[in-house]
Amino acid sequence: MTRDLVIGLDSSTTATKAIAWDRHGHAVGEGRAPIALANPQAGWFEQQADDWRASARTAIRELITKVKPERIAAIAISNQRESFAQFDKDGKALRPATLWLDERGRSEIERLSARLGRHEIHRISGKPVDMTPCLYRCAWFDAHMKEMWAKTSKTAEVHGVLVHHLTGQWVTSTASADPMGLLDMQAQDWSDTLIEAVGLTRAQLPRLARPGQRIAMLTKAAAEATGLPQDVSVVAGGGDGQCAGSGANVFAEGRAYLNLGTAVVSGSFGKTYAHDPAFRTMNAMAETGYIYESCLRTGTFLINWLVEQLFTVDPAKNPQIFKTLEAEAAQSPIGAHGLALVPYWSGCMTPYWDANARGVLAGLSASHRRGDVYRAILEGIALEQAMVTGRIARATRPIDHYVAIGGGAASDLWCQIIADASGREVRRSTTVEASSLGAAVAAATGAGWYKSVTEAAGAMAGALTRTFTPEARAHARYQELAAIYADLWPSLSKWNERMAAFAQGGA
């Protein structure tokens, strides 16, 4: 039987999806399995590494009830980033894995920054100082769990754990390793400076492979556990953000992908290493190059929060609420009758890197209605993205359009607001599972279907169904609003710092 399918295995924070894709980027079958998440105390978020493995097996087994396993040529992994676990010499987990949501590394940020220098950490890793990378949790383990840390034979992120499960080898992708914050981005190797600072050695870390590189075939045990043929190739994939970029063919000239999901993540591609507070520098899901990535922690999460907590509407009981609110927001003018919203409900990453940042709703009056508030959310996120994209373009290369993916991309109003606010076209993609497709792009390359990941992405990325073009008058109006918006957070940041300290210190 012809090996005409590859699997993009997407191991996210809540579930694993195993999707089979053909060489044209069409999904032909899918399997899913949940992953439990624990929050044992405030700021701690954990999962069992065995659950990552069990969920992957279950998802693959469900998939092959829908497609013949003999059709599968290769598999590559897309994974939740900055989530990692520790193992003994027999490959047994020493403790629960910590996730990208985990905040215990916050206490180590200043100590590590003082030792190495904030600029030096950013220069080496491509990541401005922030609690999300594993680097700071490594420092926390080194300081607070010395015995466990000393027993660690291997520490690996989700990609490395699943590759080991499938092949028996401790290997991970440079596009999954680099979000950990331990990689020298220019050398494309583990940074001796960073790993030594947190009590690690190279022997404790997986071997590195570039996305699209074939790692090994399945072990006999993995083939039996998943139901796949043993000669299926395991190919290096990468972090879910970079995979989503490949799924949207971020390699096209002038393009940035824009994932309007729970968080709002955007990225553009370039071959030159650059670092700037406006973005995180990630390894691209390709043989060479980088993704200049912005991240706003609250996207559709904030919209859902507003509807459920402030408007006290249960979307499960009233599924039309979002269409109703969009219609009301469409009747509100640009600037929502003088209402501005800064969407930092979960802190701020790009461009201010302030974990204590909080949301702002400014300009409220008794004349405002919920449609104004809803529009202010859409505009606040759009203005934030326009501001950051402009800074990225100035520091790297021109960006003239977005490819919109994720649940929020279904909103015509939001896409038009983003186009008008940024002065850039927004092109809606048909791709729903962009991260899985990006992993499939790598798998197709490793299977020999295409000469490179960039060629595979061009052939497999989803079609673009609609283009939202900036309207000249609206863009001019948004430029006026953007100048006002850009001053809001800098004016309030010191006040917010005092307020956060007050809230943390009181009963």
What pLDDT, on a 0 to 100 scale, did the predictor assign at position 68?
97
DSSP letter assigned to residue 275: -
Q: Is 150 exposed, middle or buried (0-12, 13-18, 19+ CB in 10 A)?
A: exposed
Helix 412-422 crosses helix 472-505 at what angle (to 10 degrees)?
Answer: 100
Helical segments of 337-471, H only:
370-395, 412-422, 434-446, 453-460
Are the C-beta atoms of residues 15 and 31 closer than 8 Å to each other?
A: no
Q: 119 near 49, Cβ under 8 Å?
A: no
CB–CB of 289/497 below 8 Å?
no
- 33 forms bridges with which residues in the sheet? 16
**How far, in Å, CA of 120 to CA of 186, rounded?**
13
- Which residues are paired to 266 by β-bridges? 258, 294
pLDDT at 356: 87
* Sheet (strand 46-47) strand order: 46-47, 97-98, 84-87, 154-157
Tell me which residues of the chain have a pLDDT lower than 70.
1, 506-507
CA of residue 32 relative to chain centroid, distance? 20
What confidence score (pLDDT) does residue 507 get? 52
Q: Give the model's pLDDT for residue 462.
A: 87
Strand partners, 255: 401
DSSP, res 253: T
Question: What is the pTM assigned to this prediction?
Answer: 0.94
d(Cα 374, Cα 293) in Å, to the nearest integer?
26
Per-residue pLDDT tens over the stretch 51-89: 999 999 999 999 999 999 999 999 999 999 999 999 999
184 vs 224: CA distance, rounded Å: 37
